Amino acid sequence: MAWWWPLLLELLRVLPTWAGDELLNICMNAKHHKRVPGPEDKLYEECIPWKDNACCTLTTSWEAHLDVSPLYNFSLFHCGLLMPGCRKHFIQAICFYECSPNLGPWIRPVGSLGWEEAPSGQGERVVNAPLCQEDCEEWWEDCRMSYTCKSNWRGGWDWSQGKNRCPKGAQCLPFSHYFPTPADLCEKTWSNSFKASPERRNSGRCLQKWFEPAQGNPNVAVARLFASSAPSWELSYTLMVCSVFLPFLP
């Protein structure tokens, strides 16, 4: 057997582990995220579950709760006040997005995703992170009687007065008009940052946008599962190069 064959087998064994580990316990390259996750002395209200290991700071967690958040100068109240339960879901989603260190398998570069405009300082974003079925259903149920004027909140707003306003001609209608199903709300609001999963909580195959801190973070195991099975073009390319050139080495 050629000397390089055991080397190739070892690469096949360890490279998937390396690729998977790179996706775990990380913060995305974004304006309000820390460079690396770590504990915070205090986080505000709906962001508290990530206190022990967070990508957000106390300031970010506070700003996530404001009616017009300075994080992106975005107002949830563009069609009037939201129902309290609906507002709570959106704040939880913002905390999840800004604070969670368990989104690595779904982080993608902004420039490759066709955004109409990347927010300043936003190098990466999350795409198709699978939210548990109950998360989407409860979010939709608590918001269906609140009002909005758009189904995709990522772009197309009137920013002429410094914060988002409904574009000309857009009607303020119940959420259920723009989001007929729970999946529509989960997936369309922030342009496929989240994906409605058919899996349920505690299945180990979907993410919870909020959890009871005393029960531990269930998303750690979910991220590890998806990281270990995530396809990696870098890994495939490395293995292809090795398999082609190793036989020609002396």
pTM of the predicted structure, to 2 decimals: 0.81
- Under a CB-based contact definition with an 8 Å cutoff, are residues 201 and 174 in contact? no
Q: Compute the average pLDDT of residues 2-10.
A: 52
Tens-digit pLDDT profile for residues 126-165: 999 999 999 999 999 999 999 999 998 888 999 998 889 9
Mean pLDDT of the chain: 84
Q: For residue 138, give every residue at least 6 positions away whose Cβ sits within 8 Å of its Cβ, in sequence order, or none.
A: 89
Selection from 60, 190, 82 nearest residue 136 by Cα = 190
Please provide residue 80's backbone torsions phi and psi, each rounded to the nearest 5 degrees: 95, 180
**Can you tell me the mean pLDDT for 70-87?**
91
Alpha-carbon span 44 to 57, nearest angstrom: 9
Q: 144 or 3: whose pLDDT is higher?
A: 144
**In this prediction, what percent of the chain has a pLDDT beyond 70?**
78
84: its two tokens: 């309290």
**Digit-coded pLDDT (tens) for 155-209:** 899 999 888 999 999 999 999 999 999 999 999 998 899 999 999 999 999 999 9
- Give the pLDDT of residue 16: 46
Q: Among residues of the chain, what percentage have pLDDT more than 90?
A: 64
Whether the pLDDT of residue 234 is over 50: the answer is: no
